[in-house]
Amino acid sequence: MSITNEQELAGMKKASQAVAYTLKKMINYAKPGMTTKDLDEYGAKILSGFGAKSAPYLTYGFPGWTCISVDNEFCHGVPTDQRVLKEGDLINIDVSAELDGFWADNGGSFIIGKDIHQHQKLVDASKDILQKAINTIKGGVKIADVGLLMETEAKKKGFKVIKNLAGHGIGRSLHEQPDELLNYKNRFDNRRFRKNSVVAIETFISTDSNIAVETNDGWTMVGNNGGYMAQHEHTIIVTDGKPVILTEMNEIFN
């Protein structure tokens, strides 16, 4: 969507605050020994407290309030009472929701407890790349150039990008135009970011794979060549200068 008045700005701020606060609380709550279903139900209570509804459930009938992916799961992981979190697990939580007709999206990867499997370098790379990408976005900047920056930075750090996952426009629904905000340069894409538009910018930084493939549960995605992936995501408003980070409250850059 494009922000055209104060009411729309207030609506997007409120929805973004709900998902950002929920993500932050879930990250802080996650501990070894709990199941991903425990963690999801904790997030569900927080979202419900805001009056917000799960975006993946509303849009796709997803079997959970939030997407929780662990270790070799790249994204769209289904919360379950069978998956118990362990010390050193790489975990990704993606929280998106609808509130009073406005939609917002954010996510972050982190490590449970101590980094016994050396995932921190990957997590830090993903955060750093998202921060650099957001800092270059303003009205008139080519979408493909931001994708090029993401892939270039990933390669510099010894990582790959997932080519079939992407950021997207958001606001009045979960996925809007501009879609396919890729982590690499699509040389056929001549689109530019538009001032006042709302977009969900996200990284998909991987150790070994460049394509995400669906598993038998019909939701969870893993890498075509295995390995691990880190994702970080903010909902932002494009301006003439520095973007407004609507989901800043999640503190994923801290």
**Whole-angstrom Cα distance, residue 207 to residue 33?**
26
98 CB contacts (<8 Å, ≥6 apart)?
A: 15, 52, 53, 55, 58, 174
Flag whether 233 is marked binding: yes
Cβ atoms within 10 A of the Cβ of 66, count?
Answer: 30
Flag whether 175 is marked binding: yes
Flag whether 76 is marked binding: yes
Flag whether 234 is marked binding: no
Q: Is the peptide bond before 63 cis (omega within 30 degrees of 0)?
A: no
Flag whether 168 is marked binding: yes
Q: H or E segment at 10? A: helix 6-29
**Whole-angstrom Cα distance, residue 162 to residue 33?**
30
State the binding site: 76, 94, 105, 168, 175, 202, 233
State the binding site for substrate: 76, 175
State the binding site for a divalent metal cation: 94, 105, 168, 202, 233
